[in-house]
Structure 1
Amino acid sequence: MISKDSDKLRQTVRQPFEHYFNLHFEGLHRYAYTLLNENEKARDVVQNVFLKLWEKQQELDEERSVRSYLYTAVYHDCLNLIRHEKIKRRHAAEPQQLSTSGDPVIHRELQQQIRETVEQLPPQCRLIFLKSRSEQKKYAEIAAELDLSVKTVEAQIGKALRILKEKLSGLISLLM
């Protein structure tokens, strides 16, 4: 049973959040749209930023500008999304180049080498890499799922790619 006090508290917390949402959503959406040029992605970024604001509302300092926090968060989330999309496009193109370049036996061998190298990655690095590549999850989704920061996820993906490049460079150069 919910007491009147907890009802009041919930209403008190909800009012400033709704105020910020109503006041800033449209402007944030326009700002995100100028960075992404896609309406749905811009809306998703802004909604994710407001979700973060909701989760951090107890930590918010009224002295610090909420508007500034919102715009900075939208900017960084848009940049992360742009980077993620760029990496996805680049990696989506690579396997097609390799698969069209030779015979199926070489392709199977390359795939086997990639699998073996991925299996040799450190456990957390491998888990994050597979969630990104196999499950096609965004960095933010992986971070939330594993209770990590997006920067940690980015660092682990970068580490995995460096290791893969290092260990597979000889094989790939033979194919080229």
Structure 2
Amino acid sequence: MQPLQNKVQFEQLFKDNWELMYQSALYKLKDPSLAEDIVQDIFLDLWKRKDKLVLQSEIKVYLLTAVKYSVMKCLDEVAKRQESQLEIASGFYSEEVLSFEEIYNEIEVAIEKIPPKARMVFKMNKLEGMNVNEIAEKLQLSPQTVHNQLSKSMKILRGELKHIAPLISMIFLN
């Protein structure tokens, strides 16, 4: 194939092949957005190399081969990302897993480091399940003061329990 001579040729190439390439990528990826991205990237690369590119085979073969390799690369990246996430998750449950009692004790120690008024608000909210308005009414405080006390408590706990933060956030630091 001769190098693409102009924009009109390129646009025609795009119109003639985009759908086939997209369907090919979509069939393998099952994700329309990723399939579109792959096809767009291939055409962008083709446009950038338009003056130097000389193909030994038919353009459709070249484009579908590019889709095939791009899809393989994408699937490989997705697999690596998932593997990495699994490794991170399994790190929380490795040999260094704390027993329930150890976690409970660490939480109790950390809660004791919260100033008394903020600790009372924290316990009422997180351990007794009371909402901000209920706490404000019971302690005769403004709702904003309750929010401030909860915020102060959370900041202290996050600092004290950062080594088990993912687990703690699942329990009550949201």
* TM-score w.r.t. length of structure 1: 0.49
Q: Which has the larger radius of gyration?
A: 2
